[in-house]
Structure 1
Amino acid sequence: MAKHSAALTSLCNCLRGLPPVDVEWTSVIGLANQTLTTPALIDFVDQFASVLPEDVCTYIRQIYRRNVLRNDRLAGQLEEAVVAMNGQGVTPVLLKGAAALATAPDERRGVRLMCDLDIMVVPDEAERAVAALGAIGYEIHDQAPPESRRWYVELNRSRDVGTIDLQRAAPGPAYRYRGPGHALNHCVRALLGRGSVYIPTPTYRALMLIIHDQFQDYGYWLGDLDLRHLVELRDLNNSVEGLDWKELSSHVSGELMKNAVETQLLALAALLGVEIPHSMRSRLIPRLQFMRQLMQARFPATRVPFLAMTVLDLRNYRREATTGYAPPTARRPGLWSMPRADTLQFLLRAATAIRVGKV
């Protein structure tokens, strides 16, 4: 337990570029691999190579170089897919890693480790997008069942290093985007090689990352930390355009959403040293949630007992979810009850499962 606790602090210090002090490298590298942040340590290695163990430098540089090669192939794959969709009159929106891949300078392409290419199209263009990708060899590997609220299609080809995750909406529950409206309102059109795409602004990309982690991946309920996405949020803030905190705050609607966003921002400030406005990191429930995240990251045995913290925002969740989906006559805001048995079972399974990239 003590090693795991020290590893989290040490890894975050490395990602912040702080000088290495009493680092237990086996644990730190193990945690970097678990959180998919090993390539992001290349800046730290370049800065402190003279005082680091040779095998640590060799390992991180090797992982980084391999990720550069992989991401170069992903970039080529992305351009080919975009050109094919453009040919059918579809201009896609690049999400998450795909947006990072399209906007990163060539020399920074290998810093982020990504699993797939997330692409969004408007609903009227979805069938044409799938057909365009099918015409260049993609096959449907998985897709949303007909009764699902969220439409998605996962496509792959045997020769590629990653899959394409095609979606018709931004990640997470649709009602979380009531404030900012449709994603296209927060995108700029850009060239991607021979193709044309929409890329969300840095602030909107930050919003989508937070909603993805906290709600689509259930991080808010499970108390998970996604260190790779925290690094991406930091890099978005350090970009030329940077993050507009006032704009980000204006996109937040409802108490639950506010608590979730501020929990993520607290982690960003405390773990990676990003300057966050005090008004966005001072409220009680987000601070309790962040303390829970730290405790669970350092002492995993506390994950199940801490599931009880989900009741802190259960009333807000039910009120906001009902407002988002149910007709006015069916809304019953203000009622509180225990979660259903199947909900508790799902959370318990998720809390005890090994989830790639999460800690």
Structure 2
Amino acid sequence: MPPVDVEWTSVIGLANRTLTTPALIDFVGKYESMLPEDVCAYIRNIHRRNELRNNRLLAQLEEAVVAMNRLGITPIMLKGTSTLATAPEERRGVRIMSDLDIIVMPDEAKMAIAALCAIGYDIDYQTPAESQRWHVELSRSQDVGTIDLQQAAPGPAYLYQSIGQALNHCVIAPLGSGRVYIPTPVYRALTLIIHDQFQDYGYWLGDLDLRHLVELRDLNDSAEGLDWEKLASLVSGELMKNAVETQLVALSGLLGVDIPQTMRSRLIPRLQFMRQLMQARFPSTRLLFLAMTALDLGNYRNAANGAWQAAAHPRRSWSLPKVDTLQFLLKAAVAVRTGKV
């Protein structure tokens, strides 16, 4: 039920900040008679505009996919792009998207770029050749979003060592007149979590990405649902386990998703969730709570360097982070980042 005596301007402000305003359409549909008229009108307007934008993104995606298909490339839909490709028409306006994330195989990258440039795309940015993680951003003036072309799932490669290639967790599906690979719900959930916790440094900074929590909830509520045992089987190492379970504790605590007790009862994930809530309510505590990175510093080095190296240098695994790492985290902790609280 809607809380009593709500300051709706603040609620809408927080929804705008977390990019979740269109998702409130379900709340409006259920409790319209109990909500202020201007609140309902605003949410409906934002949802309608986002639906129009996502319809344009879907048409843009289909055109790009067909162009790549002509060269024998079947791309993998990543993160929100897989949601856009599979969402029923009536649910297409719920999620705000900034770009189209697409994976192609490393030996297909040049052909994929050529296919997109042939239909009018320009390269806005391409990572240097020596970069550990390759991606290219492409855009056209007539489109509402860019294409982010990648060669691998988000986050550090060592987190996927026990999971295998993304294609092992995909099924082929039609997209308009094209064809794509769609990751399974469990793999989509895992890549969303890894993206938030490691590629966006949310685990180290104590950030909450409410938009992605809503998407995880919707994945669990979908016809296929989420197989929690399968998700647990894909998680290896203490660092990844702590990060995934932190997200699941938040999913249960904030959105009421029924998560197995064994996946939301351990101490470090629960402490991390308490930190997230404290930082959201009192942003001035963000720098203070950076000290919690020490909880997983050894686990991080074990995962990044390999267990054999940690065994050879057991004391090193608990040494302080490098100076440039601390400087990066301090700067990121006080930065205003879209969609994060």
1:309 alignment partner in structure 2: 292
Instruction: Show structure 2 runs of 5+ residues with no match.
Output: none
1:106 alignment partner in structure 2: 89
CA contact (8 A) 1:141 1:154 kept: yes
Aligned-CA RMSD value: 1.2
The one-letter amino acid of 1:170's match is A
Cα offset for 1:99?
A: 0.3
SS where residue 207 of structure 2 aligns? Answer: coil
2:340 alignment partner in structure 1: 358
Q: 1:174 aligns with which of 154, 157, 172?
A: 157
2:248 alignment partner in structure 1: 265
Would you say 1:346 and 2:321 are equivalent positions?
Answer: no
Q: 1:36 aligns with which of 10, 15, 19?
A: 19
Q: Aligned residue pairs: how many?
A: 339
TM-score by length of 2: 0.97
TM-score by length of 1: 0.93
Cα offset for 1:333?
A: 5.0
Identity of aligned residues (%): 74
| 1:136-155 alignment runs, 5 A limit | 136-155=119-138
Cα offset for 1:270?
A: 0.3
SS where residue 140 of structure 1 aligns? Answer: strand
Cα offset for 1:179?
A: 1.8
The one-letter amino acid of 1:195's match is G
The one-letter amino acid of 1:233's match is L
CA contact (8 A) 2:302 2:309 kept: no
CA contact (8 A) 2:301 2:310 kept: no
Once the two structures are superposed, what CA deviation does each residue of 1:251-284 show, in whole Å capped at 9, x if it has no partner? 0010000000000000000000000000000000
Once the two structures are superposed, what CA deviation does each residue of 1:110-165 show, in whole Å capped at 9, x if it has no partner? 00000000000111111111110000000110111222100100000010000000
2:37 alignment partner in structure 1: 54
1:15 alignment partner in structure 2: none
| 1:1-359 alignment runs, 5 A limit | 18-323=1-306, 332=312, 334=314, 335=316, 336-359=318-341
SS where residue 117 of structure 1 aligns? Answer: strand
1:6 alignment partner in structure 2: none
Task: Determine the C-alpha separation between the residues in 1 that align with 2:259 and 2:312.
Answer: 36
Task: Determine the C-alpha separation between the residues in 1 that align with 2:174 and 2:40.
Answer: 36
Q: 1:284 to 1:162 in 2, by over 3 A?
A: same
CA contact (8 A) 2:2 2:34 kept: no
CA contact (8 A) 1:322 1:331 kept: no
Cα offset for 1:22?
A: 2.6
CA contact (8 A) 1:83 1:195 kept: yes
Q: Judge which range, 257-266 or 20-29, deviates more.
A: 20-29
